[in-house]
Amino acid sequence: MTISVGDKLPDVKLVKATENGPEQVSSAEYFAGKKVALFSVPGAFTPTCSARHLPGYVEKAAELKAKGVDEIVATAVNDAFVMGAWNKAAGSDDITMLADGNGAFAEAVGLTMDGSGFGMGKRGQRYSMIVEDGVVKELNVEAPGDFSVSSAEHMLGQL
């Protein structure tokens, strides 16, 4: 079942990419008490994700924070080392990388996709959500191959 607006995020383990290495976090605890702009990509370093999705959030980070967002979080079914390297290569200190290496979060929110045709296996879909104190306030799920409603620009219009 896919998560919906008004639902509380499920509690699963994610791994935060930090300067000191991977740090395991509980999604329930991590998203509690703050307003988060969360976006998910099928994979770090993949074409649309690297050329448009992450750069849009990097570019619009100050505007998102000016509209009340406490933190901007990117997630993907990649390990924390890959997510950390992606942030160093194309991200910024304004973006927190939460690795969903085993796809537990993508599965728990019901937003998985099958990337086997591209040699990627099971991944998280491309989406964004505004989460306040662990509750989904906005949810924007892309159609396969699309990139519009999960963008930072679209999210700014929802705040």
The 10 Å Cβ neighbour count of residue 150 is 24
Catalytic residue, candidates 36, 37, 44, 49: 49
49 is catalytic: yes
Query: What 3-state class would DSSP assign to 130?
Result: strand
DSSP3 helix / strand / coil % (the chain, rounded to 5): 30, 30, 40
The 10 Å Cβ neighbour count of residue 56 is 19
The Cα–Cα gap between 72 and 137 comes to 15
The Cα–Cα gap between 28 and 42 comes to 22
Rg over CA atoms, the chain: 14
Active site positions, annotated = 49
